[in-house]
Structure 1
Amino acid sequence: MPIDATQLRTLVVQPVLAALDLPSSNVAENLIMGTAAHESHLGDYIKQVGGGPALGIFQMEPATLHDCYENFLDYRSDLKAKVDGFLAPQPAQADGTPDKDAQLATNLAYAAALCRIRYYRAPAAMPSDPNDVNGLAAYWKQYYNTPQGAGTVEQFVADYNTYLGS
């Protein structure tokens, strides 16, 4: 059963975006919500169907999470501290530090923050209209799913409309 979209938006996505304080928050909010709607149907599953490595409602792969840190956040200590502020003590690794990979599946706020970072790193500006679902879908395809990914713009738009309303 999916997560209630209004609750996800108001209790998770909006507070995370406010805490990160990055530009284009209205567009980012709809893009993140659309990503959750498409990637997991708002939480119908939290592990990639078919045995792939993607985790959480945004279906981020651990390799993508590590890339966000190694090639971006590790060079931006203030932003990294904001993102890491969403980490929970559990699940943890053997050394007691938070298990970031596992928290993609278990921690909605942390996963939303990483989803926003993924989009923030994209080389092109986000669409200017937060209500242009086709523009959001095209941006998702290019910078989140990637041109080689199996997802389509049409699927994103259909899932956005189904789970979030048109």
Structure 2
Amino acid sequence: MGICASELRQWVIKPTLKRLGVYSKAAENLLLATAAQESGLGSHLKPAGQRALGIYQIHSLAHRHIWDDYLALHSDMASLVRGLASQHDFLTQPHAELATNLSYATAIAWFMYARNENFSLPKSNDIEAMAVLWKRFYHPKSKSSTKDFCKNFEHYVIAEEVAA
């Protein structure tokens, strides 16, 4: 069983995006849908045989690229993201933060998208367009399809909102 979608939205994604100064309902839905697609909203933080970690299933190499190729060039944003990380653990095991620190992982997941020059958010309810962004910028080599992305959003997010 994963994390409650509405709680992840309210207590992690929304405050993190606001802290970064990039909040929008579309950004919130994109990250919620990404977590639904990648880990079933946290059903697995490190699937067997996989090297990616956390609810967003971020690979350590991608994590390093976010820091070296994007945040290093945006010092104000890097400072905000570093402020989300654990004081001591980040220095000794930075990639573990992707599994143990939801706010930090959310910020890194955001930059998996936002670091791309041609990235722009669709309307907040356009999950099909978000699926295209996911496939293009977040996980282009995934065997899953944009249809799978939409189905997972429906299953993990919409179904919970309807039931609540």
- How many angstroms apart in 1 are the aligned matches of 2:89 and 2:78? 19
1:130 partner SS:
coil
What fraction of aligned residue pairs are identical, expressed as a percent?
33
1:43 partner SS:
coil
Partner deviation per Cα, 1:58-93 (whole Å, 9 max, x = no partner): 00001001000110101111000000110013535x
- How many angstroms apart in 1 are the aligned matches of 2:43 and 2:66? 25
Matched pairs, number: 159
2:20 alignment partner in structure 1? 20
Matches within 5 A, 1:137-152: 137-146=131-140, 148-152=141-145
RMSD: 1.4
- How many angstroms apart in 1 are the aligned matches of 2:64 and 2:81? 13
- How many angstroms apart in 2 are the aligned matches of 1:18 and 1:28? 10
Q: Tell me the amino acid that sits aligned with residue 139 of structure 1.
A: L
1:122 alignment partner in structure 2? 116
The alignment's TM-score, normalised by the length of structure 1, stands at: 0.90
Q: Is the 8 A contact 2:122 2:130 kept in 1?
A: no
2:52 partner SS:
coil
- How many angstroms apart in 1 are the aligned matches of 2:37 and 2:12? 17
2:81 alignment partner in structure 1? 83
Matches within 5 A, 1:15-164: 15-22=15-22, 25-47=24-46, 49-92=47-90, 97-146=91-140, 148-164=141-157
Residue 5 (str. 1) matches residue 5 (str. 2): yes
The alignment's TM-score, normalised by the length of structure 2, stands at: 0.91
Q: Is the 8 A contact 2:81 2:104 kept in 1?
A: yes
Query: What are the ranges of 5 or more consecutive residues in structure 2 without an aligned counterpart?
Result: 160-164
Residue 165 (str. 1) matches residue 158 (str. 2): yes
Q: Is the 8 A contact 1:43 1:57 kept in 2?
A: yes
- How many angstroms apart in 1 are the aligned matches of 2:33 and 2:120? 14
1:71 partner SS:
helix
Q: Is the 8 A contact 1:133 1:157 kept in 2?
A: yes
Query: What are the ranges of 5 or more consecutive residues in structure 1 without an aligned counterpart?
Result: none
